[in-house]
Structure 1
């Protein structure tokens, strides 16, 4: 079951810039892309356990949008959580949507499925 939690206004987010949000004691990184496309992932760097991915560098690999960890530069697909530079790591991805200008995320992480939202 999806549980949507409002986290901020869409207008509060800068394009191509990450923001950290805290929901029920867990940190998430939220990214606004051109065309108001949004992605939300765990803010925890899978390689180090540090809460830093919202400060990563948004980029691309072909037509895929990526985030590079600010610590060791592992590159993750923002849609799937796949790590291109170190396949043993996976970034948990959560659902995100906009309702009446308010960004909401489904912050429930299913740890049994590599962190992908249930």
Structure 2
């Protein structure tokens, strides 16, 4: 049986009240790095969804996957309420885990 590290469900946001992404991983720090560096491309890369706004640790991957599926079925407002219950300012929790702060998003000329 493979060794499970730290099963985790996480929510990323593009910004406060922005686009949300829910994922599951056994290595949160590695997965955050992959999202931030656009290693795998896809949704989070396309929509610049890189800010860790919530994460939940689990004892096993099965529990984490069940929670991920549950959260993905939730209405958007329920997800926002969940985030704000512990992170009302939508701070990037990855900084507290040791990652560098994200660069501020620049504005285009004329916007």
Higher relative contact order (CA 8 A, sep 6+): 2
Higher helix share: 2
TM superposition score normalised by structure 2: 0.29
Higher strand share: 1
TM superposition score normalised by structure 1: 0.28
